[in-house]
A and B are shown apart, each in its own frame.
Chain A
């Protein structure tokens, strides 16, 4: 079963606008990660936020985590056409194996 579920499933914006994607999960986690996948390619790690962190920044990316609501959001500011991709959240549970559980992804289209 999918641990994380992203919302929306698809998002289309204009270049320069901000893009916000949300992720909800079901069980207690050790950390939550966001990955990007360009069409036909493998996944690339973007950012990791631990369960004791509330917000993290990396360049134009801002991630928040609310463990009480079991949710996270990814904000991409000043989007570019090159940001067009699918974005996945992935969670590592707080016990057991290091394996990640992925959501079904948000497809982001940035129009030039």
Chain B
């Protein structure tokens, strides 16, 4: 069975500062890992995904995430925050379950960006 834990329901950074959103996962098999972003009044949008290729994954809008098997982590980072990054971010893990593959989402981390 898979599970995802996102550390911190809210993260606040200043514009231009480093963004670090934490995600730890649990999976009985090598996982597929994802980060999604939800802007106000929109659906979830795929930011990036890890599918067992390179451990450092680059996504859209300057975000990247590193898969660390030893730490069971998949933290999301961006070197310099922009006001437009303010949104809610969801980490997700996908793996086999009853009835086929299932994707499990974390509780989300809301990112605030201060001017």
A and B bound? no
